Amino acid sequence: MDLGLAGRSAILMASSRGLGRACAHSVAREGVNVVINGRTAADVATTVGEIAAAYGVNALAVVGDATEPNTHDRLLEACGQPDIVLLNGGGPPVTALADIEPEQWQDAAQRLMISPLMFVQRVVPGMRERRFGRIVAITSAMVKAPNPALGLSAGPRLGMTAVLKALSTEIVMDNVTINQLLPERIDTERQQYMARLIMEQRGVTWDEARAAQAAMIKAQRLGRPEEFGDAFAFLCSTQAGYISGQNLQLDGGSYAGVF
Amino acid sequence: MDLGLAGRSAILMASSRGLGRACAHSVAREGVNVVINGRTAADVATTVGEIAAAYGVNALAVVGDATEPNTHDRLLEACGQPDIVLLNGGGPPVTALADIEPEQWQDAAQRLMISPLMFVQRVVPGMRERRFGRIVAITSAMVKAPNPALGLSAGPRLGMTAVLKALSTEIVMDNVTINQLLPERIDTERQQYMARLIMEQRGVTWDEARAAQAAMIKAQRLGRPEEFGDAFAFLCSTQAGYISGQNLQLDGGSYAGVF
Amino acid sequence: MDLGLAGRSAILMASSRGLGRACAHSVAREGVNVVINGRTAADVATTVGEIAAAYGVNALAVVGDATEPNTHDRLLEACGQPDIVLLNGGGPPVTALADIEPEQWQDAAQRLMISPLMFVQRVVPGMRERRFGRIVAITSAMVKAPNPALGLSAGPRLGMTAVLKALSTEIVMDNVTINQLLPERIDTERQQYMARLIMEQRGVTWDEARAAQAAMIKAQRLGRPEEFGDAFAFLCSTQAGYISGQNLQLDGGSYAGVF
Amino acid sequence: MDLGLAGRSAILMASSRGLGRACAHSVAREGVNVVINGRTAADVATTVGEIAAAYGVNALAVVGDATEPNTHDRLLEACGQPDIVLLNGGGPPVTALADIEPEQWQDAAQRLMISPLMFVQRVVPGMRERRFGRIVAITSAMVKAPNPALGLSAGPRLGMTAVLKALSTEIVMDNVTINQLLPERIDTERQQYMARLIMEQRGVTWDEARAAQAAMIKAQRLGRPEEFGDAFAFLCSTQAGYISGQNLQLDGGSYAGVF
């Protein structure tokens, strides 16, 4: 299926590893020039290199924390007129709700809600003028069903969801869409780290820990990063211009609610 | 993007025209052999012909009302082991809730809820055994926000949605997914018919009627059937196996709710 | 809190036992004259007797299956101008989705969707004219999160939900509201029956079976019928006239979704 | 209906006027001792006076901004063991999403999300120990359908909603519930202020402006503060202990979505 993206350009936050990297691969494969971002220079360089080699597109590196205004500046220097923006970034640590300090809330609100919204403010006017824009945010399955251990993530992320939804209704008339991808247990380094935690905590083998993870998902398996990346590519496609304000769950069919 | 569908086969209900035809085109383009269905032999023949010519896949015709068991039999004779099933069919007439007779409810329940569920029962066991299945139902934007004039459609369709959701959680473990597409004002013959109604009712020109339709959508335009078809093709793709139980709105960003 | 209901009259389907009976008690306590309905004459007589004695209101008996038109006639003969209507009735048996026959679907659709909607059609015009109406349907926690074993119930009930929602938006201007109560594990005879099933199936004691039921609920207990009845009474109150189209879950805080 | 609240005590944020004051009246009428709070000493004194005189309960005044930790301290000094807490506070100004500065987001996040959550942290342990707690937050109809002009309010409020939902599932086992009331156009001073804005902007009379407001609501009228207060009282009642994690809309039946 031709996604109509050849020659487009994308700024992809936190794309040197994990879900972000998978998204970068999927759109680069479709001919999109990409700005790869991450906090570790070596990781960014590796991903830039593999993408440039594999797909023959331009791939630029911006090393830095994508929640900081300074990194926003440099992302926009690398690509002044992005057609595609991936909002992505690591979540805060698991913390019991009773123990969260105000500063942690402020930090989480800044990183997961305010910072991405400030970046969106900067790119939307140009996208509207140019009559094409695809903004996709990676949030979490949790925004629809918040987990008490992850409130520090769920709160600001759902806050961002509300604002992006409101904004989406205003700008879709200019072919600028905003959608969200809600992953649950996609098999990135993070899930492998969590499998090792399970091994330690329960005294089980790697295979047993992995089986325990798979059993939490209705599909009885973890998701594959490539599946996630391709869903991103589809939402960025030319033919997805009539789809906006959606929260697409990639959760192996696990969510119990009708909507 | 390679959807990994070449050589797969699909049964597509009510696919000789409109949204169903667009879906048929999109998967046939990806190499899927299709069974085209509709109530009018000439329309079915036309769509079969154009698809076979355009994409070089096998296209078979089954003329008949897809809500009847007899048509189900013949669809399954034409394709005994479908990988993909499109549940689709026309809606009941616009009727004020106060005027609906029990027989109309029964008929609508039969056509829009019971009949598709009976067909699903017949194809799911084979899909599970073969470890691949993609069932997609076309419902309506209305299932999330029911319109009083269309209760006869919204009720049974949302009823079907509940059952498909429940079923989806049981079968995704075998790589059989069930998702729904919720269209709003995709530019098929039906919208053109409704534009003519607007012309008559308001005494306006064709262009004014079309503008009035576009103004009802946040995107300020109607959707294109090809956009709809490609969303269907994506949900049928190999890489969409981790997406199930979703209700994807193709509504030009019009739905106001967060979820 | 004065609910402003003294002298009002209510038709309460399936109110001789269980949840319906609890609803009858709660509104009768507030001075509402009630029509008690059930299929077993003795149960109806008992509930009529205890309500008349306890609250000094008029309590009439209508024995019959509330899903049948003939019973509808007699309910309306007993109370021609109801201010309050409770839509209620038993659910179909637990059945695997793969095994449901078309006739079972038709029967469930008739009982759980069509029949209550037909009764609503009959009472709404009068309620609108008289500028007061409170229609409350008891559905199930399942309409928001359908259980595969209970699809035969979830489908038609969610179908009815869609239609009642659509209708509610049209009639609230005349102070006629429609809301739904979604119970999960309220401690009626049904839960006691299910506890006995658990005893047999798992070979456990009554107390263990009850503990197992409580453990399924976030509140770690079953709901009390009186709690349910009082929620019904609140939704029927004069001061609830600005609340319509709501699905209030009485589930001990168990539902995981934000909305 | 006896709500079982006589002798209970409540801390009610922003309760000297408007919705908060209506909530205070409704629970004081049921025998609850109340802490009245507001930023204007005269308003607080007036409300304290009228409540003490009308219902014979203890009413204490705490003047101060309920989003500040110092005010939290004083609220808890006035009532160290609250059974009921109302989370309430004014919203931020209407601001186009494109114009919001980071400091405004931070301020809104602090006031509408972080501050109430910090107060909840302080009262929940005692409520759990005492096996009774009713926390109710007033948010807005907008949290389910965010308005672009009110993103500064919708984002943090929905963020708070996610966290309260997660928390609610953990504490309901100790008879501590958390629910939310979502008002739309309840007839407080704020709506009267907005009516005057409409008069100026459109050059219409007071009655025309009021009619315009009523027309935005499906009930064709504004809500009454007393209706709102009584819904609050019901959610605080002893018999509402099985209801938690709910978002009850008081919107005159206006929300279009099924859920």
Q: For the segment D215-234, what is each residue's pLDDT rounded down to a tens digit?
A: 999 999 999 999 999 999 99
Whether residue B256 and residue D145 make contact (CB cut-off 8 A), yes or no, is: yes
Average pLDDT on D122-147 reads 97
CA–CA separation, D158 vs D180, rounded Å? Answer: 11
Mean pLDDT score of chain C, rounded to an integer?
97
Give the sign of the dihedral formed by CA A213, CA A214, CA A218, CA A223: positive
CA B218 distance to own-chain centroid: 22
The β-bridge partners of D77 are none
In our burial notation (b when 16+ CB lie closer than 10 A, e otherwise), range C40-75 reads: eeebbebbbebbbeebebbbbbbbbbbbeeebbebb
CA A142 distance to own-chain centroid: 14
pLDDT at residue number D193: 93
CA–CA separation, D25 vs D34, rounded Å? Answer: 9
Looking at B236-245, C89-98, C134-143, D175-184, which range is the least confident one? C89-98
Whether residue B172 and residue A218 make contact (CB cut-off 8 A), yes or no, is: yes
Task: Give the other-Cβ count within 10 Å of B215's Cβ.
Answer: 10
pLDDT digits (tens, 9 = 90+) for B186-195: 999 999 999 9
Whether residue A250 and residue B243 make contact (CB cut-off 8 A), yes or no, is: yes
Task: Determine the angle formed by the axes of helices C18-29 and C41-55, rounding to 10 degrees.
Answer: 20
pLDDT at residue number D88: 98
pLDDT digits (tens, 9 = 90+) for B96-145: 999 999 999 999 999 999 999 999 999 999 999 999 999 999 999 999 99
Q: Which of A177, A241, A248 sits opposite B246 (nearest CB)?
A: A248
Mean pLDDT score of chain B, rounded to an integer?
97
In single-letter form, the type of residue at position C101 comes to E
Average pLDDT on C64-79 reads 97
Nearest chain C residue to B120, by CA: C98
Is B183:B141 a contact under the CB 8 Å cutoff?
yes
pLDDT at residue number C67: 96
Give the sign of the dihedral formed by CA D247, CA D253, CA D257, CA D259: positive
Average pLDDT on C216-233 reads 98
pLDDT digits (tens, 9 = 90+) for D9-64: 999 999 999 999 999 999 999 999 999 999 999 999 999 999 999 999 999 999 99
Task: Give the other-Cβ count within 10 Å of D58's Cβ.
Answer: 16
So where are chain D's domains? 9-185+224-250, 187-222
Angle at CA of residue A213, ends A208 and A219, nearest 5°: 120
Average pLDDT on B20-38 reads 98
- Rounded to whole angstroms, what are the CA distances from D166 to C258, D108, D121, D155? 8, 21, 13, 17
D contact residues 138-157, partner A, Cβ 8 Å cutoff: 143, 146-148, 150-151, 154-157
Q: Does D243 touch chain C (CB under 8 A)?
A: yes
CA–CA separation, D252 vs D255, rounded Å? Answer: 8
Half-sphere exposure for B75 (CA within 13 Å, toward CB) = 32
Confidence of residue B90 (pLDDT cuts 50, 70, 90): confident
Of C6, C8, C32, residue with least CA distance to C229: C32
pLDDT at residue number A94: 87
pLDDT at B93 over 90: no
CA A75 distance to own-chain centroid: 16
Is A13:A86 a contact under the CB 8 Å cutoff?
yes
Strands (E), A33-87: 33-38, 59-63, 84-87
Q: Tokens 């009083």 correspond to what residue?
A: B148
CA B56 distance to own-chain centroid: 23
Average pLDDT on B2-22 reads 98
Q: Which of C143, C159, C258 sits opposite B156 (nearest CB)?
A: C159
Interface test with D, best of C172, C174, C217, C242 (most D CBs within 10 A): C242
pLDDT digits (tens, 9 = 90+) for C240-251: 999 999 999 999
Is A63:A38 a contact under the CB 8 Å cutoff?
yes
Regarding pTM above 0.90, the answer is yes
Confidence of residue D123 (pLDDT cuts 50, 70, 90): very high
ipTM above 0.95, yes or no: yes
| φ/ψ of residue A253, rounded to 5 | 70, 25
| φ/ψ of residue B151, rounded to 5 | -60, -35
- Name the CATH superfamily, with its identifier, for domain A9-186+224-250: NAD(P)-binding Rossmann-like Domain (3.40.50.720)
Is C216:C222 a contact under the CB 8 Å cutoff?
no
Residues with pLDDT less than 70, chain A:
none
| φ/ψ of residue A125, rounded to 5 | -55, -45
**D9-185+224-250: CATH number:** 3.40.50.720
CA–CA separation, C83 vs C85, rounded Å? Answer: 7
pLDDT digits (tens, 9 = 90+) for C81-112: 999 999 999 888 888 999 999 999 999 999 99
Is C98:B124 a contact under the CB 8 Å cutoff?
yes
Q: How far apart are the first and last CA of chain B?
A: 28
In single-letter form, the type of residue at position A174 comes to D
- Rounded to whole angstroms, what are the CA distances from C132 to B97, B148, C25, C127? 19, 20, 21, 5
Those residues with Cβ within 8 angstroms of residue A58's Cβ, 6 or more apart along the chain or in another chain: A9, A33, A34, A52
